[in-house]
Amino acid sequence: MKTITLNSPFDMHLHLRDNDMLELVAPLSSSSFVGAIIMPNLVPPVSTKQEVIEYKKRILNATKDDNFTPFMTLFFKAYTKEFLEDVKDEISAIKLYPAGITTNSEGGVESIDTVTLAPTLNAMAELNIPLCVHGETNGFVMDRESEFMSVYEELAIAFPKLTIIMEHITTKDAVDMLDKYDNLHATITIQHLMITLDDVAGGMLQPHLFCKPIAKRYEDREALQKVALEGHPKVMFGSDSAPHPKHAKENCGCAAGVFTSPIALQVLAQLFDDNNKLDNLQKFISDNACNIYNMKPLNKNITLEKKDFVVPSVYETSKEKVVPMYAAETISWSIVK
């Protein structure tokens, strides 16, 4: 039986939500991963030290006895250096959302200009706090990420010491930016490695594959696969796994987000194996993240084997129900329990 053991697998972009949904989905991440960068877009967004500490506690409670570290983030606002110095040890990054661009981002930044943001971004650079960015304009939906590239360039040039993560990149344009600026890095999701807009809307509409940024063209997927499969040092895995209740997805007015936590490692093993690049998966799932975030690997190994895994059609508790990507389909790799 073909197997692979991954050391210290990280999910560098994860939505765990709160309350009943947190209880349902947190164990589905902590059984596959040793740690994750936790997104702060709750209602209200996580933006104080107290909120960070309390949310972290709720996550640790929900993951029970699993060996799992939530790396917390703050929702970007104009923060003072004094505040950042005080909160620094509790957080791993700050996440910037353009206002209103995705789920619970209404309080995001109205206009990203390097002069207004300078005090906060300079303090972050000095304190080595990375900036995670949801990089989309409010233009035409297929062009939003590409249109945002000029903003990334301005940020990269104006703040050369700031570690900037282009979150969930979906386009060849974003991939091309990686080698242009030393301080630009990226996360890539499962869905953007696996699907194009054709899978979402080319046939019957597939609400469980609908997310922001929306899946793009074949040439975009090819560019994303190339850097992931080669273990490019500036890209890391970030699932952007974003659970919504089943009724909010199968609805007139479908919420954006794909739920991938419980299938992520299995799909990645299959993708890397199919392309004869299994040896590079360790870089994509952990090593690159450690280098970019300047952190040490944690002590947890996950072994996968080439054995069929039938994805459950739904994950549920008595209070919540969420449908994963590839529901009821078969993946050719499974996690060894």
- Which stretches of the chain bind Zn ion, using CB under 5 A? 240
Active site residue 182: no
The answer to whether the beta carbons of residues 241 and 260 sit under 8 Å apart is yes
Residues with Cβ within 8 Å of residue 109, at least 6 apart in sequence: 76, 96, 97, 98, 99, 117
Q: Which residue is nearest to Zn ion (CB)?
A: 240
Q: To the nearest whole angstrom, how small is the minimum distance from the Cβ of residue 135 to Zn ion?
A: 11
**Nearest distance from C-beta of residue 304 to Zn ion, angstroms:** 25
Q: Is 143 helix (H, G, I), strand (E, B) or coil?
A: coil
Contacts of 60 (CB under 8 A, 6+ apart): 68, 70
Cβ neighbours, 10 Å, residue 256: 16
Backbone angles phi, psi at 144, to 5 degrees: -60, -40
Lookup: tokens for 105: 């981002």
Name the residue nearer to Zn ion (CB basis): 136 or 240.
Answer: 240
In terms of CB distance, is 167 or 173 closer to Zn ion?
167
Residues in the chain: 337
Nearer to Zn ion, 220 or 240 (CB): 240
CB 102, min distance to Zn ion, A: 7
Considering the candidates 173, 220, 240, 287, report the single residue annotated as catalytic: 240
Residue 267 CA to residue 326 CA, distance in Å, equals: 10
Q: Which is nearer to Zn ion, 145 or 240 (CB)?
A: 240
Burial degree of 50 (CB within 10 A; 0-12, 13-18, 19+): exposed
CB of 94 to Zn ion, least distance (A): 14
Q: What is the DSSP letter of 170?
A: -
For Zn ion, give the closer residue by CB, 12 or 112.
Answer: 12
Q: How far is the CB of 119 from Zn ion (least distance, A)?
A: 26
Q: List, by residue number, the catalytic residues.
A: 240
